[in-house]
């Protein structure tokens, strides 16, 4: 049973526009959520995170929104740049558990 | 200087062989992990060690045996390799008390023929 789901395998966005990546989770015990970015032949790189006590966290061009009642989070990238083209993974954890549960990733392509 | 490094990057071997993947982190973290990314691209945790002690052991065949000689190293030994073991294996590390932010190595692509 997949507890973290990214239902869009791919997304294509024009350079300069907003990219919105979505993630849903089923386990109400999750209290910490992360986004990772992955380039080919590299490991996932931490991008931004949010605790369940917040509903928004912003870092430069990246903003993560959390809707606990809907068990949904999203990552907004604005403006999108060609270097943002990568696979984005959503991950969730229970802070006491120390392990991350990942979604299957969304491949983002930024078109010039 | 690479923070989490894995060797080898690629590993091609025959069914039935035994192989090891090494992982080292120079971040001073106290917790290390092994993840497996299968053909469907899911990243799933296999093991977690904290200060050389096994903390997490997911449902993994006992052909997989992690070994942590010290808190900066976590190696993965696989016995009697099977076709289904073909995957990319990622090592990661984190520090207790700094959330669950984990730092990943570049991965080892294992192909079992």
Contacts of A49 in chain B (CB under 8 A): 99, 101
Place of tokens 């989770």: A25
pLDDT given for residue B1 in this prediction: 65
pLDDT given for residue A79 in this prediction: 97
Residue-wise pLDDT for B39-51, tens only, equals 888 899 999 988 8
For B27, the token pair is 């971040």
Q: Looking at chain A, which residue has its C-alpha nearest residue B95?
A: A98
Would you call A98 and B94 a contact, using CB atoms and an 8 Å cutoff?
yes
Query: What values do phi and psi take at A62, rounded to 5?
Result: -105, 130
* Mean pLDDT value of segment A92-112: 90
pLDDT given for residue B18 in this prediction: 97
Please state, in angstroms and rounded to a whole number, the distance separating the CA atoms of residues A68 and A6: 16
Inter-chain contacts counted by CB atoms under 8 A, chains A and B = 57
pLDDT given for residue B99 in this prediction: 66
Please state, in angstroms and rounded to a whole number, the distance separating the CA atoms of residues B38 and B43: 7
pLDDT given for residue A98 in this prediction: 76
Q: Which of A44, A49, A98 sits opposite B104 (nearest CB)?
A: A44
A1 and chain B in contact, CB less than 8 A: no
Residue-wise pLDDT for B63-86, tens only, equals 999 999 998 999 999 999 999 999
Give percent of chain B with pLDDT exceeding 90. Answer: 70
B73 CA to centre of own chain = 10
Residue-wise pLDDT for A66-91, tens only, equals 999 999 999 999 999 999 999 999 99
Greater model confidence, B1 or A37: A37
pLDDT given for residue B45 in this prediction: 92
Tell me how far CA of residue B85 lies from CA of B13, B14, B113, in angstroms: 11, 11, 10
Residue-wise pLDDT for B12-64, tens only, equals 999 999 999 999 999 999 999 999 998 888 899 999 988 888 888 887 889 99
């Amino acid at each position: 049973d997949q507890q973290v789901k990214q239902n869009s395998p791919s997304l294509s966005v024009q350079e300069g526009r907003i990219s919105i990546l979505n993630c849903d989770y089923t386990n109400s015990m999750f209290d910490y959520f992360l986004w990772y970015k992955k380039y080919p032949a590299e490991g996932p790189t931490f991008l931004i995170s949010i605790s369940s006590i917040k509903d928004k966290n912003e870092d430069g061009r990246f903003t993560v929104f959390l809707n606990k009642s809907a068990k949904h989070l999203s990552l907004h990238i604005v403006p999108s740049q060609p270097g943002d083209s990568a696979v984005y993974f959503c991950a969730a954890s229970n802070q006491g558990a120390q392990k991350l549960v990942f979604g299957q990733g969304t491949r983002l392509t930024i078109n010039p | 200087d690479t923070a989490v490094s894995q060797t080898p990057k690629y590993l091609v071997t025959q069914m039935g062989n035994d192989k090891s993947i090494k992982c080292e982190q120079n971040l001073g973290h106290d917790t290390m992990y092994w993840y497996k990314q299968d053909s469907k691209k899911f990243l799933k945790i296999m093991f977690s060690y904290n200060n050389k002690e096994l903390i997490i052991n997911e449902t993994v065949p006992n052909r997989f045996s992690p070994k942590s000689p010290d808190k900066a190293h976590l190696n993965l030994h696989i016995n009697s390799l099977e076709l289904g073991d073909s995957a990319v294996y990622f090592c990661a590390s984190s520090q207790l008390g700094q959330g669950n932010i984990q730092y990943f190595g570049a991965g080892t692509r294992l192909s079992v023929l």
